[in-house]
Each structure stands twice: as structure tokens, then as C-alpha cells.
Amino acid sequence: MIFVTGATGFIGRSLMAHFQREGITAAPYHGRINDPLTLRQQLEEIQPHTIIHLAGAEARGRDRLLRRVDVEGTGRLLEESRRAGIQHIIYVSRVNANPMAGHALLRAKGEAERLVRQSGIPYTILRPATLYGRNDRFFEIIVGVAIWTWPLVWLPGGGNISFQPLWVEDFTRCLAATVNRPDLIGQTVTLAGEEKILYRDLVRLLLAAAGKHRLPVPLPMTLMRQTARFLFYWWYWPAISQYFIDRFFVPEIVEYDTVIRHFGFRPVSLRQNVSYLNRPGLATRIFRH
């Protein structure tokens, strides 16, 4: 039995659908990740062998929630996992996670990784680069904001930062395979797509897929954070949070062959897999979590 935290999130929905297609039994966690009684009760009822830990507060855009969910919640989960005799925990982190990082999200993920490594539970840490797919919180936000800024589209730093996106379905395929990979226990594995693309080219590709035309305008990096804070900080669930902006300050570039080297298949081409952006409703996507 596999126990999944964060099963209703972006990665979680894809992962649970994958398990269902493959006939693999997996149980989602229902409750707050830092609630020890609920965690203990469900672990005792389900008696899982493996936990896939996806729960996080990145989408909320608040540092205090990162501390409560990603760090303290992970610590609480590990305590109850030791009590329940869990044999393997798979933690999904982020490229560039580091407990000493200057950016809050990367720092929180790094602290959570450290807790996992020190837990005494056999673990595997997966660090994906930017993930994309239907209902993502990056590609769809880029297109949604561009719709509202007609006739312009803003390019932070001139669009010169590079990305290496990975399709969420390819990542969940790797994630599911990790359950039965004893050779990955005790390992931290970074995963990304095989295409390195500049942000300005990425925006051009996404807008073309969505059937939109905009005039690109460079936005100085010194203005980006202040502008986003002024426009979005008051939202309870902001479309563009500081964590979204941090992507433009810390490149997510890794080796090209991470997926095929660790899992034996090539990820889907970015250019062949963004048709989901050509659908109604993206203009209001930024107002929904």
C-alpha cells in the first residue's frame, strides 16, 4: 500500500490517475499535514509500506505557511512514519533546494530534505525542475497574465533566463517507478526535460500554442518583485507569488539526460505537448487556485 500526501495538488492528481490506470493501490491522506492525531490514525488504518510526500504550501505564496506545512509538517509526518514503521518515504522537493538558500521556497525545501535524510527512514528525494501540464501554475499563469496585459507581454530581465521544463505526466511516471527502485534509496535525484529554452522563446511558444499575439517588452529585474508585490500580495491565494518570481533569479538548468539515465525513457517534447493552452478560460485562470 502506498500513502500519498498532497494527493489533490497538481502533481498529486496526475500521480493518483497514473496509479489508477496501472491498477496500483494508493491511499490519499485526508487532513492537515501537521496534525499528528489524524496522521497517526490514518497510518494505523492503512498500514502503508511507502509514503509519497507531496504536500506543500508553495501555491499559497506565504512564508509562514511554508514553515508550517513544508518544514514543520514534514517533521510531523516523519515522526508518525517512524512510529508506524514506514519502510520507504519518497519526498518531492525542488531543483536548487538548499537550507541556506536566499529564497524562502528553496530554503524550506532544503530544510525538509534535511529532516528526511536525518529521519532514519529509508528515503528517496526527487528534485524536479519546472513542471507543466493542464492546470499548472506556471505556463497557464504566463498565458493568463499575457491575456490581461494586451497588447504587451512582459519579459523579466529581457527573457534571458533559461528553463528546462518537464511534463508532469513524465515526472509522475518517474515518481511511481521510484516505489520499486531499491537502488534509489538514500539518493537525491534531479529530473528535468531535455530541452533548454530561454524564457522569451518559451513565452513565444506558449502564446502561439494558445493562439495569442503580444508585443514582448523587457521588464527590469529590479522592478519585477516590487510590481508583483503591489499587484498580487493582497490576494489570499495569489496568482503570482514571490515563489513564482524567484524562478527568474535562480536558473533550473541541469544535465539533459536525467530522465533517461535514471528511468530509461525520454521525456515528451515541450513543443508537442502544450496544446492544453489553447482552450477557453485561461483569462480567469489567474483568479483561481
**Are the C-beta atoms of residues 86 and 50 closer than 8 Å to each other?**
yes
Q: Which residues pair with 189 in a beta bridge?
A: 126
Q: Of 227 and 169, which is predicted with more confidence? A: 169
Q: Look at residues 74, 59, 66 and name the one whose alpha carbon lies nearest to residue 105.
A: 66
pTM for the model stands at 0.94
pLDDT value of position 60 = 78
- CA angle (97, 61, 71) in 5-degree steps: 45
Mean pLDDT of 50-78: 93
**Are the C-beta atoms of residues 184 and 261 closer than 8 Å to each other?**
no
pLDDT, tens digit (0-9, with 9 covering 90-100), for 164-203:
999 999 999 999 999 999 999 999 999 999 999 999 999 9
**Are the C-beta atoms of residues 250 and 96 closer than 8 Å to each other?**
yes
Q: Which of 27-41, 105-119, 214-228 has the lowest mean pLDDT?
A: 214-228
pLDDT value of position 96 = 95
Residue 118 sits in which domain range? Answer: 2-287
Q: Look at residues 183, 181, 190, 179 and name the one whose alpha carbon lies nearest to residue 86.
A: 179
pLDDT at 125 over 90: yes
pLDDT value of position 46 = 95
pLDDT value of position 240 = 72
pLDDT value of position 254 = 92
Buried b (16+ CB within 10 A) or exposed e, 186-197: eebbbbbbbeeb
Return the sign of the alpha-carbon dihedral for residues 151, 271, 281, 226: negative
pLDDT value of position 267 = 96
Angle between helices 36-46 and 74-84 (to 10 degrees): 40
- CATH code, domain with 153: 3.40.50.720
Q: Give the count of domains, the chain.
A: 1
pLDDT value of position 68 = 96
